Amino acid sequence: GAGVSQSPSNKVTEKGKDVELRCDPISGHTALYWYRQSLGQGLEFLIYFQGNSAPDKSGLPSDRFSAERTGGSVSTLTIQRTQQEDSAVYLCASSPPDQPQHFGDGTRLSIL
């Protein structure tokens, strides 16, 4: 069946630009998660959605980062005024309640 889909798979942008990363979770998965994977920092939690609400935003590194989820499905992670330290692979995962998370292939973000 279809897994977690993320787009774009790669994004190269200039410092200072805004970027939007998209995640399509597995159909029926109520929980959706964003993580970031970078050299030296490993895998870091960013934000978690249950339905359309975000009970835990504790991992967002700054107010330049925001995320939303609509219709209990698609989620968008937005990074404003990108900085070079934002370069990383951004991973999305989804799960049914109290079940393991399924990960997408990620979006590799490179800030020039």
Partner 1 sequence: AQSVSQHNHHVILSEAASLELGCNYSYGGTVNLFWYVQYPGQHLQLLLKYFSGDPLVKGIKGFEAEFIKSKFSFNLRKPSVQWSDTAEYFCAVKSWGKLQFGAGTQVVVTP
Q: What whole-number distance in Å separates Cα of residue 52 and Cα of residue 48?
A: 10
**Which of 77, 91, 109, 111 lies at the binding interface for partner 1 (CB under 8 A)?**
91
Read out DSSP for 6-24? EE-SEEEE-TT--EEEEEE
Binders in 12-51 for partner 1, by CB under 8 A: 31, 33, 35, 42-43, 45, 48, 50
Task: Give least dist CB 16 to partner 1, A.
Answer: 30
Tokens of 47: 């934000």
Amino acid at 108: R
Provide the binding-site residues for partner 1, judged by CB under 8 A: 3-4, 31, 33, 35, 42-43, 45, 48, 50, 55-56, 59, 91, 93, 100-106
